Amino acid sequence: MDGHWVPPAFPWYKVNVDAAVFSQLSMIGVGVIIRDHVGSVIAALSKCLPLPMDPLEAKAKAMDEATIFAWDLGVRDVIFESDSTLVCHAMENPTDALVSISTVVSGFCFRLPVFRTFQSSHVR
């Protein structure tokens, strides 16, 4: 793979998710961008949350925010992309989630069935 973004097939949308930990501020930053099959940006979200978390917990919380954001925008066929293999795996197999993220994983996995179709994808 050459590392460039690949658009989804119609009628899917890609929801790219990331998080950053700002330990000195006891905050995390969450970023979400939703694009369609031609690569057009449909919507983007950026927010800081006053939650002291480790990087894995922050990635899980970012996915949680992404599922809410995508649903609120009316996106129904979704590929959620993250650079966290553990979060992507937890989306597909929530019972395998690490204890440290199991509560957040339960939250977003509870919402996933409302989407018409969804997938998770690990990206570097």
Q: Give the residue extent of every domain in the chain.
A: 13-122
User: Each residue of 12-52: pLDDT tens digit?
Assistant: 999 999 999 998 888 999 999 999 999 999 999 999 998 77
What tokens appear for 115 in the block?
């989407």
The 10 Å Cβ neighbour count of residue 29 is: 16
The CATH superfamily assigned to 13-122 is Ribonuclease H-like superfamily/Ribonuclease H (3.30.420.10)
Q: State the pLDDT at residue 4.
A: 82
Residue type, 79: I
Give dist(CA 85, CA 103) in Å, integer.
Answer: 17
Cis peptide before 11 (omega within 30 of 0): yes
C-alpha distances (whole Å) from 17 to each of 24, 77, 83 are 22, 16, 8
Q: State the pLDDT at residue 14.
A: 97
- The mean predicted confidence, pLDDT, of the chain is 92
